[in-house]
Each structure stands twice: as C-alpha cells, then as structure tokens.
Structure 1
Amino acid sequence: MQRNIKAVIQPQIKGVIFDLDGTLVSSSLDFSIIKAQVGCPHDQDLLTYIEHLPSAYMREEAMHIVHQHELMDAQHSQVLPGVQESLEQLHHLGIPMAIVTRNYGKAAELKLKQCAISISHLITRDDAPAKPDPTALLDIAKQWGFNAKHCIYVGDYLYDIQAAHNASMRACFYAPDDVPTYATEAQYILRHFNELPELILAHR
C-alpha cells in the first residue's frame, strides 16, 4: 500500500465511500462496443456524449442500449477478493459506508443483491450528476455530518480520483493488477483490498 508522505498529519477518516464496478464487484462492460453502438467517439466520455445528443429520442435510444449492457453485466457480477472481509471489519469499527457509481440504479441494485454487498447507502447516476462531479460525495458527507476532509473515496478509475479531489476528499486508488500512471494522483494506492482496514485504522 502506497502512502502519502503527509499521511501522519492527515485528518481522521470517519467515513468511506466506494465506487462499485471494479472496486467492490466485477464488471465485464466493454465500453468500446457500447460506444460503437451509440455512435460515441472512442476518446469521448460515453455519458457526456449521450447527454449532448440533439434530441430526446436519440438520448433515450442511446441510454436504452447502455441500460441493456449494464443489466446483462449485473447478472454475471461477482464480489471481488477481500471485499466482504474488509467491509465486515469496517462495519465492526463503526465506520459508515456508502457507494457512488456511474452505473444506473436498477443494475447497481442488482449487483449489490447478487454479490450480497450490505451497504444500503447507494447513489447512482439516477440520483446525482455522474463522477467526476463531486455532488454525490458531498451529499453523503453532509448526511453523515462530516467535513469532506474526514471522508475517503475508494475507486479504480481516473474519474474516482478526480471526484474525490473535486469534493476535497482523500482518494484511494484500488489497483490489484496494473497501476496506471494517473494513480499517483491519489493519496493512497491499494494493491490488495484487505489493506483498506489497516489504512483506516492508521487514521482513527
């Protein structure tokens, strides 16, 4: 686990917010295929592209395609290694937990049920602007009654790091395999999910 050199003076961690796909549960979504089907250039963000389509009908049709892919993916999703054990440890520590995902509600709920993830506080793109917009993260901190600096966001993609920074939260990047260059923008890098409780305990 990589730690920022300033970790010893970081504020206490009181709450943990997670990404969903690739962080807590598996995902096999092929965005290159989805983008091709809706006409989105490969170098553009899919949700942003759909949002700016010129008619409501085009947006609805494109989102329908995305929903079908997400639901199919949800049916085959599995909990990732070390997640259940780590969530149980955080629960015993009394740490409140939540999930913020760019997925849509029905698919996200199906994944949580199928993978037996017992985090009830879920915000999807149906509920708030999609990451890297910080709205969902800030809303959770407000509901918990915490200053954002006392929360940490755990995810596996650049948008997760950006969302955390935009919310003035610490970013924890989960990289069980390859570590992309942008991962250094996060305060912490987890190579194994079971390192997370140790990180939280170090900031209690």
Structure 2
Amino acid sequence: MNFRLKGNATVILMSLRKGAPYADRVEGNGEILIYEGHDVPKNLARDPKAVHQPYYTPKGTLTQNGKFFEAAQQYKQGQREAELVKVYEKIKDGIWVYNGVFELVDAEIVSDGQRDVFKFKLHVTDKTLSEKETEVKNVSDLEHNRMIPTSVKLEVWKRDKGRCKTCGSTDNLHFDHILPFSLGGTSLKAENIQLLCARHNLNKSNKIV
C-alpha cells in the first residue's frame, strides 16, 4: 500500500489467493473491497503477525496504515473528498492485474483475537484520476466498473495464454468485457472476458466487436 506514491496516485496491491499474507476480501458483487493493513517490517519484530499493525513508525511519523486511516476519517468527517485509489490484484506469482479505481470511504482498527489490525473499506467508482496521478507507471490504465472474480481471471489468463487476443502482446494486459458491463455484460463468466493490451482496449472502448 502506498499513499500518494511519489506525490501522485495512491495504490494498493491486494490478493484473494489462498495463503495470501493479508485477509483482503470483496463484497457487494465486486463493488466493495475490504483491504487489510500491513504488518510491522520483519526487521522490527521476530513475528510480525504477533504484534499490532502499526499506526506510527519508530520515528513517530505515520505508517502507510496511519496515512490511509487518517484520510478515511477525514472523509467521514466531511473534511475532504474520498481518496481515489488504484487497485492491483495478484492472481499468480509475478502476475498483477489492474482492478480499477476505488474510493477510500472508511477505516477501522479491529481485533483478530490476538492483535489489532486495520481494515479499510473501498468502494468502486466511475471517477477518473487526474493526468498527474496516472503517472505511477508508464502505462494507460483503464477504469473498470466491476471487479472480475479471481477465478475467472485465472481461467481467462490460461485460455488466452497471457497474450492480447488481438495482437498477441504480453505487455500491459487488461481483462476486457467482450459485451461491455455498461451494456449488460457479465463479469462472472470467462466467456465474456478476454485479454487485450491497453492499446486495443482503448481502441475498443464500449463498442461491441
């Protein structure tokens, strides 16, 4: 998790895979993401899972947990707009996919029975990031209205062999709705999802091809 990475976009890296280090989950038909905060670095604790997730660093500055938490609280109190967050999901070792832009709308610190952990609530949005905020990577990320389940992504990735269906590129791939979500296309079936590179996804827009 990175709040205002290099002064630009806020980014989180999530995983729903079995054995993932954090208990991230998706609710509300893919519209809501519950993202767990991060543990203390391994150099500060023999077992990071045995101590509370930190709000402050040893130097007294806010951790990433603290920055996200305060942004959520300020939004709830009407002091600022919701922070826009770019969400990436790990579906396989070395493979991250872009899940779109979410708003950070809530945060809480809860006990898991042994320690305190942060839970952040993010809601999918149609809002777009400013040109400056999209400079996290030198790519043209596309917004998505609904998250595609991880199991469907894995099925599509295997079927399409990790390549753009149009040109065969393996760079900057996106999971594209063949029948756009805005026109009633489903995110739940691999038959309606294909891999496209950013260029061909942008060219397609919401047209049925």
TM-score range, shorter chain: under 0.3
Larger of the two Rg values belongs to structure:
2
Q: Which has the higher contact order (CA 8 A, sep 6+)?
A: 1
Q: Which has the higher helix share?
A: 1
TM-score, length of structure 1 as denominator length: 0.24
TM normalised by structure 2 equals: 0.24
